[in-house]
Amino acid sequence: MTVRPIRIYGDPVLRTPADPVTAFDATLREIVRDLEDTVREPGRAGVAGPQIGVSLRVFSYNVGGEVGHMINPVLSDFEGEQEDEEGCLSLPGLGYSTKRSMSVTASGFDQHGEPLVIRGTEFLARALQHETDHLDGRLYIDTLTGDVRRQALRELRRVVPRR
């Protein structure tokens, strides 16, 4: 079991779009195992490759006791809207009300290259969107606007040490 350390805001890997996975090999399966071990830690709902320093389009999730992963996800079928507090392991101690779609379909592959489709609603939809954003070099604070965004950035400068 390998629980990897989480990269914190300011690490360039978090702002760089991840590369598509092209080899479904033993190295990828080891990354998936590490992601799933890392997301099993208490209080974690998702971990993306960049958050453990791996710039590949792969993430794990842990929602409702179900742990899984997806490789090269593409989101579609966005429906409805939800707004709830969202946090991020790479932005420790922060949480802000964030709008997301109420339901979404994620299409991609499992660690063996087999097609995988996950239809998520509510919290799973939020997790799928949040983790896919990580793979695109985006953080949830990028979706915030106005005074809430300014407050989040001020708080971020206060709680995250400068590199």
Q: Check which CATH number belongs to the domain holding 44 and give it.
A: 3.90.45.10
**Domain annotation covers residue 125:** yes
Residue numbers in the known binding site for Fe cation are: 88, 130, 134
Going by C-alpha positions, the residue among 118, 114, 150 that lies closest to residue 132 is: 118
The string of pLDDT tens digits covering residues 95-127 is: 999 999 999 999 999 999 999 999 999 999 999
The string of pLDDT tens digits covering residues 35-84 is: 999 999 999 999 999 999 999 999 999 999 999 999 999 999 999 999 99
Average pLDDT over residues 14-19: 97
Separation between Cα atoms, residue 114 and residue 108, nearest integer Å? 8
Separation between Cα atoms, residue 40 and residue 50, nearest integer Å? 17
What's the domain count of the chain? 1
Residue ranges making up the domain that contains 95: 12-159
Q: Among this protein's residues, is 131 annotated catalytic?
A: yes
**Domain annotation covers residue 1:** no
Indicate which residue of 79, 83, 86, 131 is catalytic. Answer: 131
pTM, two decimals, is 0.94
